[in-house]
Chain A
């Protein structure tokens, strides 16, 4: 087995991991800050892909779709929080879980009614069609773009959480919402924004995945499972964990695909089982959280 093939495989793994990171991120943020396990995450990923496709065809440009879909679907997420999820805070963790689970069915069926259950083509933006010569082999331009974009989003997210006053409130709110209320912070608004952010990230993942896969109502199902695996490996609620675990799972799948391709899906779950045995709270999770 020559080295260039292994390097190529590493690249595919990172690109795959980038999409995993972006989808797991929204899930883990919402759980970490709000304690809500969002089972509609996969469905919102799918809604994001459809919204991106719709907006792209409306405006004639992929870039408007990429920009607007996460914002609009994020706003839709805030509506979900405001109308539905908000009423369940303080109840057992199962209640929002069941609510979002039911919501995911409604969303998938809704899309089936509006757009039909056949797949719809999502063309790769013309600027990113083709391959780049990496020296060791050819790699699709679009996938390199995805890696870069995810890196930028992560950087912005980190800056927001660590360097701004809003980030400070968010982090403090996750630790102790009661104290934040006493200090005169409207924590309800913070939670609204966080839920919107999580859903927006899911939608961004959907738009990014669109040109790599065909867009169909069931595309979120598998993604939800993958996002959960990544979140559990990284530690529920940990952002760093989601990033590390996402890349780790991507690279792991890619390397296994080289030696035992039929095991490529199973390896993700094997990795999760192994991590849970050694560190039940996940790689970066806090004890007692999960």
Chain B
């Protein structure tokens, strides 16, 4: 009998403790919500396509953006204020991105937006931020966003742009008198890359023998291959992104295209190379904003890799991931310099900023807010030449950033 009594009391006690614990848990859960209304947290909105064909690149962007935020918070935040990253899935859809961005601004009261991973989506985000006077640091390739008609003083472009990327790639791959064919995704990104390549090849003195536009997000490219082979080019430029790049190159290789011509892409993607393997990508040349292998020749890259490895269980940062880090990182540095989140002060700080986050010093050009930065040209290694699973590319060239890489402010329609 006594044993029963003690048991029941113990049970009663434990139930009460459990209840107390539970209510305490609820209280702590509710705390940050209560705090948010009046707090002084700095909130950065981050729309990115977590679902869809660019999901792999998007998730790397989020990891790197979170790292940039964490490093600042670890050092006590900005003027004592903590930074919070609000990630939203834009589903690679311009309408969805605009809605999410508007929500971030109106409901979540973010202080700035960083993100988007498609030139079309990023223009939609820019429309919203421009109209609301909110700073937007875009981190996906676009030429249009630099031009006067889409520009605003709140628009910053941290990514490379097609003009500088294609010029650097063409310099390494296209020679005078060569014949060049193009397979191009039929949307803003593809069109801008095509325009860049054609301008570069005209300057070099190469001839364009054909352009084929393919539907965005196509799974099968076999129907374009006989035509491309019949054009008999020396170089085939495949200007598309994400899984389209992997599928197009894979199927081109199946048709024996590599035996006839060199395959060149504007941006060679780390994740897509992983998705189709070394044999398919072997010898393909393309541009990049970042490659982890830069660490042997660049101190900043080594530090960035180290911080990323520490936060992600030894994994390495990828190209588009690095944009998340430099996009958010440069904004936070500017907020640091501006001493807070006052939009005009941060804009001025960004314009005067020299930042060195992933690969050497970068700065935003005054007239169009394009980040002047180095462009890498990479060649995919063959399997036998890989030192380890992450040793994907050889660095063919690393062109240091310079104003001459960009179209002039006058050409873009900005007052000079």
Contacts and interface: CB of A to CB of B under 8 A. Distances in A.
B225 A213 contact: no
Contacts of B223: 9, 12-13, 16, 253-254, 257-258, 261, 264
B222 A213 contact: no
A266 B218 CA distance: 11
A58 B170 CA distance: 43
Most buried by B among A16, A219, A254, A265: A265
A130 interface: yes
A41 to B, nearest CB: 16
A218 B52 contact: yes
Interface in A130-175: 130-131, 137-140, 142-143
Contact of B215 (A5, A139, A218, A266): A266
Given A142-B254, A214-B247, A262-B186, A12 B274 contact: no
Interface stretch (B53-61, B62-70, B194-202, B339-347): B53-61
A8 B224 CA distance: 10
B227 A137 contact: no
Size band of the interface chain B makes with A: 35 or more
Rank and list the top 7 A-B pairs by shortest CB-CB distance, nearest first.
A119-B275, A257-B223, A8-B226, A121-B277, A265-B215, A262-B213, A140-B254
A119 B276 contact: yes
13 contacts: A5-B227, A118-B274, A123-B279, A124-B254, A137-B226, A138-B255, A140-B255, A213-B250, A223-B219, A254-B222, A261-B212, A263-B215, A265-B218
Contacts of A123: 277, 279
Interface in A246-290: 253-254, 257-258, 261-266
A121 B226 contact: no
B300 interface: no
B108 to A, nearest CB: 25
Nearest to B278: A121
Contacts of A263: 215
A253 B222 CA distance: 10
A60 B56 CA distance: 27
B384 interface: no
B276 A137 contact: no
A2 B226 CA distance: 12
A143 B250 CA distance: 13
A120 interface: yes
Contacts of A5: 226-227, 230
B214 interface: yes
Interface string B225-255: 1110110000000000001001100110011
B277 A119 contact: no
Contacts of A265: 215, 218
A128 B227 CA distance: 23
B246 A119 contact: yes
B256 interface: yes
Contacts of A258: 223, 227
A96 to B, nearest CB: 26
A222 interface: yes
Interface string A1-33: 010010011001101100000000000000000
Contact of A119 (B222, B227, B243, B279): B243
Given A13-B223, A15-B222, A214-B275, A261 B247 contact: no
Contacts of B222: 12, 15-16, 140, 143, 212, 254
Nearest to A222: B219
Given A140-B255, A214-B276, A219-B219, A9 B226 contact: yes
Given A212-B220, A214-B250, 15 more contacts: A2-B230, A5-B226, A8-B226, A13-B223, A119-B246, A119-B271, A138-B229, A213-B250, A213-B251, A216-B243, A218-B53, A218-B55, A258-B223, A262-B215, A265-B218
